[in-house]
Amino acid sequence: MTAMTEATSMTYPDSAFLETTVRRMGAHRAVHGAILCVESGDGALSWRGAAGTLEADQRYFIASVTKMIVTVVVLQLRDQGRIGLDDPMQRYLGADLTRGLHVVDGVDRSDQITVRQLISNTSGLTDYFFGKGPDGKNAGDALLQGNDEAWPLERIVERARALRPRFLPGQPGKVHYSDTNYELLGRVIETVTGASVADVFDELVFRPLGLRETYAFSDESDTTPAPMYHRDRPLHVPKYIASITAEGGVVSTAAEMMVFIKAFFDGTFFPPSTVDELKRWNRLYFPGQFDFGVGLERQWLPWFMSPFTPLGDLLGFWGQSGAFAFHNPQRGLYFTGTVNQLSGFGHGAAVSAMVRVMKATR
């Protein structure tokens, strides 16, 4: 079934059901606040609500849902003939920046890594954030403990050079979720356009969609987005967020992310058939368990969640912050929101909420 195949004559859950659903999200032991927005492709359903510490229209950090915006930009630049997905990244970044990024047994394969491998997480480059260095430590631990520092690309590249690659570039069946890939993609975008990633997002995505609450976080004094939680405490890391725009530095609302996710699948940015091109799935087991394609994720839903009524796909993206934006083509449903929990333990509450709504839609 293609991305544009929408269910018709469906019966949707009512507001009371959806209010109970978001309250269940907020009642999860790892979740302090939750936002849920649900819409149908036929326009018959449009609802959003919140629980706990969050309000339904509150700004929040969308984290890696930002990568879906990168997908839109890269595909638009591809369609304009300015980027080739199978071009080596060195064509845009130069050898000085990329040299030594992918070295195994003394062989440097950095020049073999393509744009497609970056956006599909099949380059083999280790994630600079969670990848463990020779000392057994990763960069993420210090940040999650509140040590707020900027991570510009040059620092990320330096860190990545110290990390052993996971596999050969494009090795069949291999995938590793790596923010290193998307930071390099961000620089590719900047090189091609001559503008910052933030400005490109604004020009190609935010302004065309009329998004007024969505922006690349850059002002370290900006306290309007809801503070992210790591386990039981708020985590304030503005220097870091302001420095990692391409991998996850965007702020938005559930309502505006709904505009974006619907535009992604309805042909606004590219022909709907393009979505099928992105469905080259490889199974990821960290962080979480889902399939990763070409700049697109598919949330894995085990059969026992609905043994008698197949749920179909959930296509979209997760954020480390617990933010989400997904589309269920089989029922014509769209979901956006957040559980605002960096530990990863709150994501299940969002999955349960989406599944609950899908099962109630007939």
Phi-psi map region of 208: left, alpha, beta (phi>0 left; psi -120 to 50 alpha): alpha
Average pLDDT over residues 146-156: 95
**pTM of structure:** 0.95
What local confidence, expressed as pLDDT, does residue 88 receive?
98
Question: Where do you find CATH 3.40.710.10 in the chain?
Answer: 15-66+213-360, 69-193
What local confidence, expressed as pLDDT, does residue 5 receive?
39
Distance CA 113, CA 334 (A): 34
Question: In this structure, what token pair is assigned to residue 170?
Answer: 């494009």
Distance CA 102, CA 184 (A): 13
Average pLDDT over residues 213-236: 97
The 10s digit of each residue's pLDDT in 265-304 is 999 999 999 999 999 999 998 777 899 999 999 999 988 8
Average pLDDT over residues 176-183: 97
Distance CA 10, CA 151 (A): 47
What local confidence, expressed as pLDDT, does residue 254 receive?
98
Whether residue 251 contacts residue 60, with contact meaning beta carbons closer than 8 Å, is answered with yes
What local confidence, expressed as pLDDT, does residue 4 receive?
36
Q: Is the pLDDT of residue 109 over 60?
A: yes
Q: Is the pLDDT of residue 175 over 70?
A: yes
Does domain 69-193 bear CATH number 2.40.420.20?
A: no
Q: Is the pLDDT of residue 14 over 50?
A: yes
CATH class of 15-66+213-360: alpha beta
Confidence grade of residue 7 (pLDDT, cut at 50, 70, 90) = very low
Q: What is the mean pLDDT of the chain?
A: 95
